Amino acid sequence: MATTNKKTNKHVTARFLEKIVVNAGIGKLRNQTSFDDKILPEIIKELSIITGQKPAERRAKKSIAGFKIREGEVVGLQITIRRSRMEDFLKRIVTLVFPRVKDFRGIDIKNVDSNGNLNVGFHDQYVFPEINVEKSKISFGIQITCVPRIKDREKTIDFYKSSGVPLKESESKNG
């Protein structure tokens, strides 16, 4: 790829990516005592620190007895990041977060779906340098989805590679 300065690269990212969506499911944490008073505000605070935005609560649409979920209960948190925050967040993930993941060898190419969405999940929020492990009271998983404007898988894979996202090379089928 041709070398570009930082301003040009930022504009390419802004034109190519529509948004980044950060989700945190809080499933089993919901059953703990004082969830609404202590646990949920702590998760919201840490997600706000990570993304720079306050998350929106996602509530259950139906009651499901098997999962002990009642209609209207908070089951997840979601943040949609756009424009300059999106560019900065993607850069932080590539340069700071991925190197902190234990035994990280790259993102599998299968994590890019047919529309070009890149999906990455983390078991806990401690891989983000903003989170202090000693002060954090709760551990939760995070799902990050990068949504491109162009819905072509091959073009988006090329863009992710040029942006520095560590995608693994596709494996040959015959071994």
SS3 for the chain is CCCCCHHHHHHHHHHHEEEEEEEEECHHHHHCCCHHHHHHHHHHHHHHHHHCCCCEEEECCCCEHHHCECCCCEEEEEEEECHHHHHHHHHHHHHHHHHHCCCCCCECHHHECCCCCEEEEECCHHHCCCCCCCCCCCCCCEEEEEEECCCCHHHHHHHHHHCCCCECCCCCCCC
- Which residues on neighbouring strands pair with residue 17, listed in sequence order? 148
Residue 106 belongs to a domain: yes
Cα-Cα-Cα-Cα dihedral sign, residues 125, 130, 133, 136: negative
Of 51-55, 92-96, 133-137, 167-171, the least confident: 167-171
Which pTM value belongs to this model? 0.84
pLDDT tier at 4, thresholds 50, 70, 90 = very low
pLDDT tier at 157, thresholds 50, 70, 90 = very high
Residue 36 belongs to a domain: yes
Given a contact cutoff of 8 angstroms between Cβ atoms, the answer to whether 25 and 102 are in contact is: no
Range of 69's domain? 6-162
Report the pLDDT value the prediction gives residue 118, as an integer from 0 to 100. Answer: 94
- Which residues on neighbouring strands pair with residue 19, listed in sequence order? 147
Tokens representing 59 are 């509530």
% of the chain residues with pLDDT over 90: 51
pLDDT tops 70 at residue 173: no
What is the rounded average pLDDT of the residues 140-149? 94
The amino acid sitting at 44 is I
The amino acid sitting at 144 is I
* Number of domains forming the structure of the chain: 1
User: Mean pLDDT across the chain, nearest whole number?
Assistant: 86
pLDDT tops 90 at residue 20: yes
pLDDT tops 70 at residue 172: no
Residue 173 belongs to a domain: no
Residue 146 belongs to a domain: yes
Residue 1 belongs to a domain: no
Residue 143 belongs to a domain: yes
Residue 58 belongs to a domain: yes
pLDDT tops 80 at residue 44: yes
Q: What is the CATH number of the domain that holds 90?
A: 3.30.1440.10
CA gap 61, 175 in Å, rounded: 46
The amino acid sitting at 132 is N
Residue 56 belongs to a domain: yes
pLDDT tier at 114, thresholds 50, 70, 90 = very high
Report the pLDDT value the prediction gives residue 46, as an integer from 0 to 100. Answer: 93
